[in-house]
Amino acid sequence: MSDFTSNFWSGFVAIITLVSIVACLVLLWFSGKTKTMSTADNTTGHVWDGDLREMNNPLPRWWVWLFVITVLFAVFYLVMYPGLGSNPGQLGWTSTGQHTAEMDKGQKEVAPLYAKFAAMKVEDVARDPQAMGIGERLFMNNCAQCHGSDARGGKGFPNLTDSDWLHGGTPEAITETLTKGRIGNMPPMAAAVGTADDVKNVANYVLSLSGSPNDSLRASLGKAKFGACAACHGLDGKGNTAIGAPNLTDNIWLHGYGEAAITAMVNGGKVNQMPAQADKLSPEQIHVLAAYVWGMSNNAKPAAK
């Protein structure tokens, strides 16, 4: 992989580019100097379709000058813009710099609108039709890839439209999640639980907590072994939003349902990451997005105009 990230290839492309420009000029010069053997009627002797003859005329002057201007423009472009290896060009232009400038310009244009929403409580923003229109676009651009366009999530990605929250569903908790991100870590617990049979017993006990179909005998045997899990999920299995431990009693399964899925979780553990949005969105944008997410799970309807 280092072969493709070294300076060799950028230098190689720069050399090929310069050689190509010089070759174009040389070709133009030779084409103007070289005379093709012609007949007395100034044709090359090539005939098509019976009477279509190729004339031996020089290139039109306008075409030659257009060719020269094109080559000169290429040289000028390579001097002013980054096109020769690591040379930044005289203008110092970068795609990153242009993107940043355009983003800054856009932020300034919408700053007054976001300032209005920033002064409002999340609950009030969630009922503002204009704010929710913006929140929907923010959600589609930054969250829908994982949580789905309808925000109902999928395996491994939480449903944002229900009342089940790993880290809390208050406006403050949602804002913190969006700003800082979250890392959920379920460590492998097989060694702490005991034997493979003990793991199956615990899995059935976990199923019993939510009233899901289970082997009642195994569930009764797994209750004592569940103590290894209680540090995070609590003795009653209702979880702990402070550390993102799921509630095991609500019949909502983030990583799959049934004995096999729970056994796999106990044996292998699981790490989930919700990326922080603070490096992409401004605090004001996060405020509107938090209101949009909060509104979906609290049935907040924008006020009619």
Task: Tell me the CATH number at 113.
Answer: 1.10.760.10
Does any domain span residue 243?
yes
Per the structure, the count of domains in the chain is 3
| Each residue's pLDDT tens digit, 130-184 | 999 999 999 999 999 999 999 999 999 999 999 899 999 999 999 999 999 999 9
Q: Over the range 181-219, which residues count as b (16 or more CB within 10 Å of their CB) and which as e?
A: ebebebeebbeebbeeebbbbbbbbbbbbbebebbeebb
- 280 lies in the same domain as 210: no
| Tokens encoding 263 | 């056994």
Give φ, ψ of 182 to 5 degrees. Answer: -140, 150
On average, the pLDDT of the chain sits at 89
- 286 lies in the same domain as 240: no
Domain span at residue 130? 101-181+275-297
- 169 lies in the same domain as 293: yes
The CB density around residue 139, as the number of other CB atoms within 10 Å, is 20
Considering the entire predicted model, what is its pTM? Answer: 0.71
- For residue 270, the cross-strand partners are 186
Does any domain span residue 305?
no
State the DSSP H helix or E strand holding residue 25, giving kind and residue range, or none if neither: helix 7-33
Asked which of 234, 250, 266 is the last residue of a domain, the reply is 250
- 15 lies in the same domain as 43: yes
pLDDT higher at 226 or 47: 226
| Each residue's pLDDT tens digit, 251-267 | 999 999 899 999 999 99
- 280 lies in the same domain as 174: yes
Does any domain span residue 120?
yes
The number of C-alpha atoms within 13 Å of 48 and in the hemisphere containing its C-beta is: 2
Are the CB atoms for 279 and 200 separated by under 8 Å? no
At 1, is the pLDDT very low, low, confident or very high (cuts 50, 70, 90)? very low
